Amino acid sequence: MTTIDFTRVILYLLVLLVLAWPLGLYMARIYEGRPVFWDRVGRPLERLVYWFCEIRPTTEMDWKGYALAAVSLNAVGMLAVYALQRLQGVLPLNPLGLGGVSSGVALNTAISFASNTNWQAYGGESTMSFATQMLALTVQNFLSAATGMAVLAALIRGLSRREAQHLGNFWVDCTRSVTHILLPLSLLLAVLLMAQGVPQTFQGSVTARLLDPVTYNKPVVDGNAAPSLDAAGKPMTESAVAAEQKIALGPVASQEAIKQLGTNGGGFFNVNSSHPFENPTPLSNFLEVLAILLIPAALCITFGRMVRDMRQGVAVLAAMVILFALFLFPCLTAEQAGNPRLTTLGVDTAAMDTPLTAARPGGNMEGKELRFGVVDSALWATATTAASNGSVNSMHDSFTPLGGLFPMLLMQLGEVVFGGVGSGLYGMLVFAVVAVFVAGLMVGRTPEYLGKKIEAFEMKMAALVILIPPFLVLCGAAVAVATGARTAISNPGAHGFSEILYAFSSMGNNNGSAFAGLAADRPYYAWAGAFAMFVARYWLIVPTLALAGSLAGKKIIPTGAGTLSTHTPLFVGLLVAVVLTVGALTFIPALALGPVVEHLMLSQ
């Protein structure tokens, strides 16, 4: 890695941390109901939602009521998204005349977008109408992100309140997340992206004349549009010339903004953020990859502010940054090392990566956009899998075996290294509970976190949150490999296994990215993936809220001589070690059968 590459990565992290601090303080004021500068716009919108939905904002809920409200909202959202997809052929805002989506893909997509996964088993511009993109997918991008943020707010209240029965009001937290945080940030980012060339229009497509017309053979059809056959029974073809190309357009910038800020990831176009209309310039690339981690990082500051101890938030943020760096730099190194098979052939991709220096070592440019190169592609891949985002600006399937291993393992850690908005931090806080429990066992003392005793019930809920995603990932991949579902892979052997393992790691952790060498629209992956995404989202939300409710009812114990400080470098190291140990013990055997074996085979 050159000095320039290192500087670019450090600059990205510095900008992220600088912006996260004021945004985190702002969000803390929102969830505490204190005034902010956006109130002149946000408060009227908030009151309008309360009036229309008959919400009583002063009424608080216990953890069961909070969980019921969260699941109910998302269930209604799933049904609405499913219906809009199936009926889009007869609905307006469909300039390309696209028909209804098949039942399996529609169900998979409905659960995917409601669960903040945004796994896509379809091509966006060729499958979804403008009505579906805006009314179904974009709306769910807001609501699924707001759900995760609301659940986090409830958990923080559970940690900070003493002998309380209530965690706040889900409808209030969700509404404020949309009107005061996600909406203004999305408007700002959408305007910046439009300035960089991202389209925002209701025009269905434009026709462009090719500079170099293409001659090809097309099938001959009869009057009934059936293929004509020759005397030997083979389809007949005739020469044709393609001189024009239709380029899809649409309301892209608005969806792109919330897709990144809400750690959603669903692309308007099939190739996602590698498409020049979603991500046209290096500046748009920087803004989008910054938006992916911005709110998850800022929520750590929100946590510190709401528990009245900023050191706690900084400690969790430090653990996330350390874990992120531990995966980012090896991924960069593996991709810049290039493909050893190409190296033996004397192929050097240094000139394609950057023209800054002829002495620079080559890198793996397969599947990457020339306007981004190896560094920006690897940074994006690491950020999108660290967060529960799933958008891509390069083909992860074309990464080197070790370059693809690190993003995959980031998901398998449980999407807690920044993670999804809200869900990443509440997942990391569950790991913090486990860390203090382990520390308590070491010294023979009842573990405490923020003055709350961690007892049997809390550990049972924490175990559910940590173990359910690996169970879904490993079982889903095992069934796929053991049955005919393995025929959906494009590459047999170790890489094909990696494609399957990556797919279920993505769906089982609500990420949404893919190796893209897998036919994900096959029935098994559509239905099994839908089940994995649903369980991984809501069977984690419920135990998280149960944990919050239990903690809220506890007394706060004064700090004593044997109390473990949870804001020190020692605890940060312990937290990092616990996350890595759980991930390693769970997934190293599976990774050894995929990326590790492929790397050894490639190096022979």
Query: What string of DSSP letters covers 70-132?
Result: HHHHHHHHHHHHHHHHHHGGGSSS-TT---PPPHHHHHHHHHHHHTT----SS-HHHH--HHI
Tokens of 488: 């959906």
- The pLDDT assigned to 352 comes to 46
Average pLDDT value for residue range 25-47: 95
Highest mean pLDDT among 491-495, 503-507, 561-565 belongs to: 503-507
Four-point Cα dihedral 335, 282, 15, 21, nearest 10: -110
| pLDDT classification of 285: cutoffs 50, 70, 90 | very high
CA distances (Å), origin 479, targets 485, 529, 540, 583:
8, 12, 23, 21
- The pLDDT assigned to 346 comes to 67
DSSP SS3 for 447: coil
pLDDT, tens digit, for every residue of 503-540?
Answer: 999 999 999 998 878 887 788 888 899 999 999 999 99
Strands 237-248 and 452-453: unpaired
- On the question of pLDDT at 461 being above 80, the answer is yes
- On the question of pLDDT at 364 being above 60, the answer is yes
Q: Which of 37, 270, 163 is nearest to 550 (CA)?
A: 163
Q: Which of 90, 125, 128 is nearest to 106 (CA)?
A: 128
255 contacts 145 by C-beta, under 8 angstroms = no
Q: Is 450 exposed, middle or buried, given 0-12, 13-18 or 19+ CB atoms closer than 10 A?
A: buried
First to last CA, the chain: 24
Average pLDDT value for residue range 407-432: 94
- On the question of pLDDT at 104 being above 90, the answer is no
Give buried/exposed letters for 195-220 (b at 16+ CB in 10 A, else e): ebebbbeeebeeeeeeeeeeeeeeee
- On the question of pLDDT at 105 being above 90, the answer is no
Average pLDDT value for residue range 492-496: 88
551 contacts 452 by C-beta, under 8 angstroms = yes
In whole numbers, what is the pLDDT of the chain averaged over residues?
90
Chain Cα centroid distance, residue 85:
22
Kindly report the three-state secondary structure assignment for every residue of 187-208.
HHHHHHHHHCCCCECCCCEEEE
Phi, psi at 116, each rounded to 5°:
70, 20
- On the question of pLDDT at 211 being above 90, the answer is no
Tokens of 38: 């956006």
Q: How far is the C-alpha of 601 from the C-alpha of 604, rounded, in Å?
A: 5
Cα 151-152-157 angle, rounded to 5 deg: 100
Task: Give the contacts of 569 (CB within 8 A, at least 6 positions apart).
Answer: none
- The pLDDT assigned to 386 comes to 94
Tokens 């910046």 correspond to what residue?
Answer: 192
Q: How far is the C-alpha of 338 from the C-alpha of 350, rounded, in Å?
A: 10
- The pLDDT assigned to 351 comes to 44
Strands 237-248 and 448-449: unpaired
Higher per-residue confidence, 51 vs 245? 51
Q: How far is the C-alpha of 541 from the C-alpha of 539, rounded, in Å?
A: 6
Tokens of 311: 């050191």
- On the question of pLDDT at 227 being above 80, the answer is no
Q: Which of 327, 325, 309, 328 is nearest to 568 (CA)?
A: 309
Q: How far is the C-alpha of 472 from the C-alpha of 193, rounded, in Å?
A: 37
DSSP SS3 for 393: coil
- On the question of pLDDT at 362 being above 80, the answer is no
- The pLDDT assigned to 205 comes to 85
| pLDDT classification of 357: cutoffs 50, 70, 90 | very low
- On the question of pLDDT at 2 being above 80, the answer is no
- The pLDDT assigned to 155 comes to 96
Q: Which of the 8 DSSP states describes residue 216?
A: E
Q: How far is the C-alpha of 447 from the C-alpha of 454, rounded, in Å?
A: 5
| pLDDT classification of 1: cutoffs 50, 70, 90 | low
Q: How far is the C-alpha of 177 from the C-alpha of 185, rounded, in Å?
A: 11
- The pLDDT assigned to 517 comes to 80
- The pLDDT assigned to 348 comes to 53
Chain Cα centroid distance, residue 395:
16
| pLDDT classification of 358: cutoffs 50, 70, 90 | very low
- The pLDDT assigned to 354 comes to 46
529 contacts 108 by C-beta, under 8 angstroms = yes
Average pLDDT value for residue range 549-559: 90
Give buried/exposed letters for 525-536 (b at 16+ CB in 10 A, else e): bbebbbebbbbb
CB atoms within 10 A of CB 437: 20
- The pLDDT assigned to 223 comes to 66
Q: For the chain, what is the radius of gyration of the CA atoms?
A: 25
Domain boundary assignment for the chain: 20-199+253-306, 205-248
Higher per-residue confidence, 526 vs 72? 72
Query: What residues are paired with 200 via a beta bridge?
Result: 251
Handedness of CA 427, 428, 433, 435 (dihedral sign): positive
| pLDDT classification of 322: cutoffs 50, 70, 90 | very high
